[in-house]
Amino acid sequence: MSRNVPFFNYQKFYTQNEAELMPLIQDVCRRGAFILQKDLQQFEENLAKYLGAKYVIGMANATDALHFLVRAAGIGAGDEVIFCSHTMVASPASIYFAGATPVPVECGADHLIDPTKIEAAITPRTNTIMPTQLNGRTANMEAIQEIADKYGLMILEDSAQALGSKFDGKCAGTFGKGMCISFYPAKTLGCFGDGGCLITNDDEIYETIMLLRDHGRNHDGEVVMWGLNSRLDNLQAAILDYKLKTYEQDIERRRDIARMYESRLGTVPGMTLPPGPDSDPRHFDIFQNYEIECDNRDGLRQHLRDNNIGTLVQWGGKAVHQFPKLKLNRSLPFTEKMFTRCIMLPMNTMLDDEDIHYVCDCVEQFYATGVKSRAA
Ligand SMILES: *Cc1c(COP(=O)(O)O)cnc(C)c1O
């Protein structure tokens, strides 16, 4: 039986929750409470409580949060920062705009920064490692911390995709000075537009970023430093506070979907699945994405499209160093090969079990009829 399984399904969440969302939106609008109001403060407090963190600062998006974090950490001209090329361009952009040099390295089999490739990229100018906690998984931070300690480097994580993800029981984002989280609609905690936040336990980082996000103005409206504007809209904060109440269930649902994919597709030849939710007790993954590798990726993608199933290849199909205009001038063969094979299957809380079985049926069907005969 044919179904329609879109990759994103924002309208379904809204429709399902409209009866509760509308009064909430009306309440904010009737109060005219749009900028830096109590809903934002409440959400910041609730999220801090949820994570056991000292400070949450709502911001316009995670790109700003990361960029401000890089600046607050004192990274600037002459510094080199090592990042994994399989990431959103926002990670190295935060380094670039601080005046420092982003240095890309390879990802590993789990698609996160490969700790064994970091040392070769270190120079006397390196001062930071920026792992991206990709797809809702946290990198092996023990291995990365060892390298950082050995060479006296800072760690700053791009944890935009990793709210609640853990390594050895420690949350993504807490290995460095602060974590940036994205509330972009496709993220595990998504709002109705752009949004993000910075989370930190560091008093100094907190003070600096509170000023940076609001034109350098302190509580009395006195401008005490150069700042910019990057505030999380109060209306978005009210919506996020509503979604936060079910966040834990949302993550459990994502992990259940990952278990279903694993049990149905784990033995399909030519296909490599991400590490399963129960495969390694050191990792607690939140499955922001379900990124697989497979033979004849483009053929599979077309087959799924023909069956009304949406998929996505991350970052438009290229690692950051593969965009020539950014002039990163590196060759990273493992990552480049991976980008000919990777694709993301539908992963969101609006999917029901039948949707997942339908996706798996279609994948199995494609490989059962022979990848070779379908190869373009
Ligand atoms: C989404 C994302 C960002 C940027 O988040 P925005 O809120 O859209 O600015 C940065 N890094 C990674 C890894 C992301 O997935």
State the pLDDT at residue 134: 98
For residue 120, what pLDDT is reported?
Answer: 98
Pick the atom of ligand 1 nearest to 196's CA.
7
Query: What is the mean pLDDT of the segment spanning 216-220?
Result: 95
| Phi, psi for residue 57 in degrees, rounded to 5 | -120, 110
Q: What is the pLDDT of residue 328?
A: 97
Q: Which residues line ligand 1 (CB under 6 A)?
A: 61-63, 87-88, 90-91, 132, 158, 160-161, 182, 184, 196
52-102 per-position pLDDT tens digit: 889 999 999 999 999 999 999 999 999 999 999 999 999 999 999 999 999
Residue 354 pLDDT grade (very low, low, confident, very high; cuts 50, 70, 90): very high
Mutate to test the pocket of ligand 1, among 161, 197, 288, 289 (most ligand atoms within 8 A of CB): 161
Looking at residues 248-264, what average pLDDT do you find?
98
The chain-wide mean pLDDT, for the chain, equals 95
Q: What is the pLDDT of residues 120-137, one digit of tens each?
A: 999 999 999 999 999 999
Burial class (CB in 10 A: 0-12, 13-18, 19+), 327: exposed
Q: d(Cα 250, Cα 343) in Å, to the nearest integer?
A: 22
Give whole-number Cα distances, 111 to 72, 138, 216, 266, in Å.
Answer: 28, 11, 38, 18
Pocket-testing residue among 61, 63, 213, ligand 1, by greatest number of atoms within 8 A of Cβ = 63
Q: Which domains does the chain have, with CATH numbers?
A: 11-244 (3.40.640.10), 248-375 (3.90.1150.10)
Rounded Cα gap, residues 20 and 13, in angstroms: 11
DSSP secondary structure code for residue 96 in this structure: H
Ligand 1 centre distance from Cα of residue 182 (Å)? 6
| pLDDT of 374 over the 60 cut | no
Nearest CA to ligand 1 atom 2: 160
Mean pLDDT across 182-210: 96
Q: Is 373 a residue whose pLDDT tops 50?
A: no
Index of the ligand 1 atom closest to the CA of residue 91: 11
Provide, rounded to the nearest whole percent, the portion of the chain with pLDDT above 90. 94
Q: Residue 177 C-alpha to ligand 1 middle, in angstroms?
A: 18
pLDDT in tens, 224-241: 999 999 999 999 999 999
pLDDT at 174: 86
Q: What is the pLDDT of residue 370?
A: 61
CA dist., res. 322 & res. 134, Å (int): 18
pLDDT at 52: 86
What is the whole-number distance in angstroms between the Cα of residue 235 and the centre of ligand 1?
A: 20
Count of Cβ atoms closer than 10 Å to residue 170 Cβ: 12
What's the sign of the alpha-carbon dihedral 162, 166, 171, 173? negative
* CA of 183, closest atom in ligand 1: 7
Summarize pLDDT for 136-187 with one digit per residue, the tens: 999 999 999 999 999 999 999 999 999 999 999 999 988 888 889 999 999 9
pLDDT (mean) for 354-375? 83
For residue 133, report the distance from its CA to the centre of ligand 1, in Å: 11
Give pLDDT tens digits for 35-51. 999 999 999 999 999 98
